[in-house]
Amino acid sequence: MQEREFRLFVGGEWIEPEGGRRFECVSPVDGSTWAMAPYASVQQIDLAVRLAREAFEVGEWSRALPSRRAELMRKLGSLIEQNVDELARIQVQENGKLIREVHGQTLALAKYCYYYAGLAETLHGDCIPLSMPDMLNYTVRVPVGVVAAITPWNSPLSLLMWKMAPALAAGNAMVVKPSEFTPISTLMLAELVEQAGFPPGVFNVVTGGADTGGALVDHQGINKIAFTGSTAVGKKIAEKAGSRLIRTTLELGGKSANIVFDDVNLEEAANGVLAGIFAAAGQTCLAGSRALVHKDVYDEFAKILVEKTERISIGDPQVMATEMGTVACRPQYNKVLAYIDIAREEGAKLLTGGKKPSFASEASLFVEPTIFGNVSNQMRIAQEEVFGPVLCLIPFESTDEAIQIANDTRFGLAAGVWTRDVKKAHKVASRLNAGTVWVNTYRKTNYASPFGGIKESGLGRENGPDTMKEYTEVKSIWVNYGEPIKDPFNPRA
C-alpha cells in the first residue's frame, strides 16, 4: 500500500503539522509503514481548543436548536453507513482486529448517531413543585463546553463514538486525541463530520503521542475530559482534572471474571468464555481474562477449552474466515509475552499457546491464544491486566468462594455468570462488584445500555440516555409571579 500523508483537522480546516512533523503508522500484520500521521504541536493543540471554544460560544453551537443538532447527527450516521467498508478496513489496518468484528462495530456507529439524535430532541429538565407560594422553579440542561476526548487503540471509532455522540448531541464542542497507534481512522471520520456540515470548530482532531494528550488535558480551555485507557493514566488525568474541578468520564482497566458453574452445558459455556477473551485477541478492557470454574467440571472444561482454542484460525485479520488477528502494537506485544513469562515463573501451568505462531514473521505481532491452568488468584497473571490473548483458569468449590475470588481484584468493570439456575444467576450477579454482569453471554454492549466500572475500573458511565447528563450541567431557574419583594432583608416577606 502506498503511504499517504494526513493532516490535522482543526477549526473545520485540514492543516499541516508544524514543520511537517509526522510519525509512521505501522501494520501489526507485517510491520510495513502504510501511512504518515501528523504530529500536532502545542500551539496547534491550543488553536484547536480556542477554535472549539469559539464554535461553542461565538458560533452559538451550544444554542443551536436541538432539531438542528439532531439533523447533523443523522447526516453523519448516513455517511458512516455509506463508508462503512473503508472505515472498517482502515481500523483493521491500524490494529489487527478482525474485519468480521470491526465491520459490525463500524456499522453500529451510525446507530449511535441516530439514537443520540433522538436524545438531542428530547433532552429536557424538570418543573419542580415548591413549598413556597407564587414561585415557579424549573431546570434546564446546558452543555458543559469544550470536551477533550482521548481514545485508545483497541476500538478506536467505537470508543470515540461512545463519547462523541452524546457530547455533540448535547451541544458541546470537541477536541479528539486518538491513540498514536490508530490515528488514521479518526481522521477519516473527521472527513465525514466535515461532509455532514457540522460548523467549523465543533469537532477537531489532533494526533500525536503521549505529550499531545498531556497538553490537551492540561489546557485551561477544556471543560470536560472523556478518557478510555489504562488505570495508571486515568489516575493522572483525574488528579489534573480534580485540581481544576472539571468533569471527567474515565473508562479504565479490568480483570473480569467469567464464572462457570457445574450445571451448564460445557460446550456452550466454553464458546462464551473463548469469545470473551480471544475474539479481540484479549485487547478489550472487559475481556474475561479470569475463568473461574467449579472444581467438579474443571478438568473436563479445561480440556474442552484447550481443544477449541487449538482450532482457532489465526491469520490475516482482513480475511473473514480468520478468527483471531494480531496484538495491535509492538509495546503491547512485548508486554503480553512478558506476562506469559511471569505466569510460568509463578508456577501457573501452560495448557496451550504461549508463543508466536510458527507461520508468523519477525515483524508481525501475532501471539497464540494462551491458557494457563491451576492459577491462584494471588498471582500477578490473575491480578494485573495483560490486555492480550491470555486466559487464567481458577478452580472454585462453592458459590461464596467464586464470588470472593471474582471480587478479589482492584478492578470492577465486568463479569460473567454461566448457570442454568435462575435464582443462582440473580444472586451471584447482585453480589459481584462490577459495573456490568452478563448471564449466559459475554462481551455484549449497546448504545442504549450504560457501561462503566467501579473501583479502579473508572468513573462515570458511557452509553444509554443518562450519558447525556455526563455532558450537561443542570441550571435551576426561579420565577416570581406573585407579590414583589417588600423587605430586601427578609426574602420570605
Identified catalytic residue from 94, 101, 251, 368: 251
The three cell numbers of residue 134 are 407564587
> Which ranges in 58-137 belong to alpha helices (H)?
66-82, 84-95, 99-120
Asked if residue 33 lies in contact with residue 182, where contact means CB atoms within 8 angstroms, the answer is no
Asked if residue 281 lies in contact with residue 246, where contact means CB atoms within 8 angstroms, the answer is no
What is the rounded CA–CA span in Å between residue 205 and residue 176?
A: 5
Whether residue 492 is predicted with pLDDT greater than 70 in this model: the reply is no
Identified catalytic residue from 285, 329, 456, 462: 285
- Burial state string for 424-437 with b = 16 or more CB within 10 A and e = fewer than 16: ebeebbeebbbbbb
Identify the pLDDT of residue 491.
Answer: 61
* DSSP assignment letter at 139: E
Identify the pLDDT of residue 18.
Answer: 97
Whether residue 308 is predicted with pLDDT greater than 60 in this model: the reply is yes
Over residues 232-247, the pLDDT tens digits come to 999 999 999 999 999 9
The candidate with the shortest Cα–Cα distance to 163, out of 112, 226, 219, is: 226
Identify the pLDDT of residue 487.
Answer: 84
Asked if residue 411 lies in contact with residue 457, where contact means CB atoms within 8 angstroms, the answer is yes
What is the rounded CA–CA span in Å between residue 477 and residue 291?
A: 52
Work out the average pLDDT over 128-137: 94
Asked if residue 75 lies in contact with residue 198, where contact means CB atoms within 8 angstroms, the answer is no
* DSSP assignment letter at 424: H
Q: What is the pTM of this model?
A: 0.96
Identify the pLDDT of residue 62.
Answer: 87
The candidate with the shortest Cα–Cα distance to 152, out of 216, 88, 202, 226, is: 226
For each of the domains in the chain, give its residue range(s) and CATH number, in order of start.
Answer: 4-252+453-476 (3.40.605.10), 257-439 (3.40.309.10)
The candidate with the shortest Cα–Cα distance to 102, out of 79, 116, 85, is: 85
For residue 402, the one-letter residue type is A
Identify the pLDDT of residue 488.
Answer: 83
- Told to judge if 251 belongs to the known catalytic residues of this protein, a careful annotator would answer yes
Asked if residue 453 lies in contact with residue 284, where contact means CB atoms within 8 angstroms, the answer is no
Whether residue 458 is predicted with pLDDT greater than 50 in this model: the reply is yes
Q: Residue 374, by phi and psi: left (phi above 0), alpha (psi -120 to 50) or beta?
A: left
Asked if residue 66 lies in contact with residue 232, where contact means CB atoms within 8 angstroms, the answer is no
Whether residue 270 is predicted with pLDDT greater than 90 in this model: the reply is yes
Over residues 352-402, the pLDDT tens digits come to 999 999 999 999 999 999 999 999 999 999 999 999 999 999 999 999 999
Whether residue 2 is predicted with pLDDT greater than 80 in this model: the reply is no
The candidate with the shortest Cα–Cα distance to 330, out of 3, 7, 24, 4, is: 24
Dihedral angle over CA of 466, 469, 471, 473, nearest 10: 180
Work out the average pLDDT over 132-145: 95
Asked if residue 231 lies in contact with residue 455, where contact means CB atoms within 8 angstroms, the answer is no
Q: What is the CA radius of gyration of the chain?
A: 24
- Told to judge if 362 belongs to the known catalytic residues of this protein, a careful annotator would answer no
Of residues 3 and 253, the one with the higher pLDDT is: 253
What is the rounded CA–CA span in Å between residue 164 and residue 146?
A: 12
Over residues 181-191, the pLDDT tens digits come to 999 999 999 99
Over residues 390-441, the pLDDT tens digits come to 999 999 999 999 999 999 999 999 999 999 999 999 999 999 999 999 999 9
Whether residue 272 is predicted with pLDDT greater than 90 in this model: the reply is yes
Of residues 133 and 3, the one with the higher pLDDT is: 133
pLDDT band at 493 (very low <50, low <70, confident <90, very high): low
Residue entry with cell 512478558: 338
DSSP letter string, 171-225: T-EEEEE--TTS-HHHHHHHHHHHHHTPPTTSEEE---SHHHHHHHHH-TT--EE
For residue 261, the one-letter residue type is F
Over residues 334-350, the pLDDT tens digits come to 999 999 999 999 999 99
* DSSP element (H, E) containing 18: none
What is the rounded CA–CA span in Å between residue 338 and residue 397?
A: 31
Work out the average pLDDT over 168-196: 98
pLDDT band at 249 (very low <50, low <70, confident <90, very high): very high
What percentage of the chain has pLDDT greater than the value 90?
A: 95
pLDDT band at 1 (very low <50, low <70, confident <90, very high): very low
Asked if residue 393 lies in contact with residue 291, where contact means CB atoms within 8 angstroms, the answer is yes
Q: Is 412 helix (H, G, I), strand (E, B) or coil?
A: coil
What is the rounded CA–CA span in Å between residue 355 and residue 335?
A: 13
Q: What is the mean pLDDT of the chain?
A: 96
What is the rounded CA–CA span in Å between residue 42 and residue 35?
A: 22
What is the rounded CA–CA span in Å between residue 75 and residue 82?
A: 11
Identify the pLDDT of residue 4.
Answer: 84
What percentage of the chain has pLDDT greater than the value 70?
A: 99
pLDDT band at 483 (very low <50, low <70, confident <90, very high): confident
